[in-house]
Amino acid sequence: MAEFIKWDRPRGTVHNLATALSLKDSGCNLLILSDASLYVLQNYMALDVEFKSRWADETFDKGYKPITFQSENYLAWVDLVHQIQGEVLDMSCDIVEALEAINDTAQVTNTRLEDIRQEIENLVTQQSTAQSDVDDVEELLDAINIILGGASVLIGA
């Protein structure tokens, strides 16, 4: 049976395992940290996150029972610890360079979209011109029919 730990005893953070397991496990937060903060966070994650006495498996008003090898949630806790440690790797990058790369891609995309818009506009203009040509041909045929009709009246008279 797990020992009971009073809330004021650990002298540090206590994590509620049930809460941690209920949160989204996909990357959904972006943090921008100084090198010093990242250093401390990585050190904390590398070792302190494995400190079972800081994980509350059961909570009570006056304290908690920490995770143990015998806990029902022990394997879920191990998976969570590995996930947390894997997420806090140093992924330092030059943010300006990354934003410039995004901007360059957006400009290329914008140029291509402008080319596509122009092609569509040209097609619409050509289609409009073609329709105008059809209308002109129909008017000519009507005029020819009138002339032929008038000629047949004259010939028949």
Which strands make up the sheet holding 15-16, listed edge to edge?
5-6, 63-66, 55-60, 15-16
CA–CA gap between residue 66 and residue 56 (Å, rounded): 5
Residue 35 is inside which H or E element, if any?
A: helix 35-47
Q: What is the pTM of this model?
A: 0.52
- Cβ count within 10 A of residue 57: 20
- Residues β-bridged to residue 56: 16, 66
Residue with tokens 């049930």: 18
Per residue of the chain (157 residues), what is the pLDDT tens digit? 568 888 877 677 888 899 888 988 777 777 778 888 888 888 777 778 888 888 999 999 999 999 999 999 999 999 999 888 877 766 666 677 777 878 888 888 888 888 887 888 777 777 777 677 677 777 767 766 666 555 555 565 5
Residue with tokens 């005029």: 143
**Strands in the chain per DSSP E:** 5-6, 15-16, 55-60, 63-66
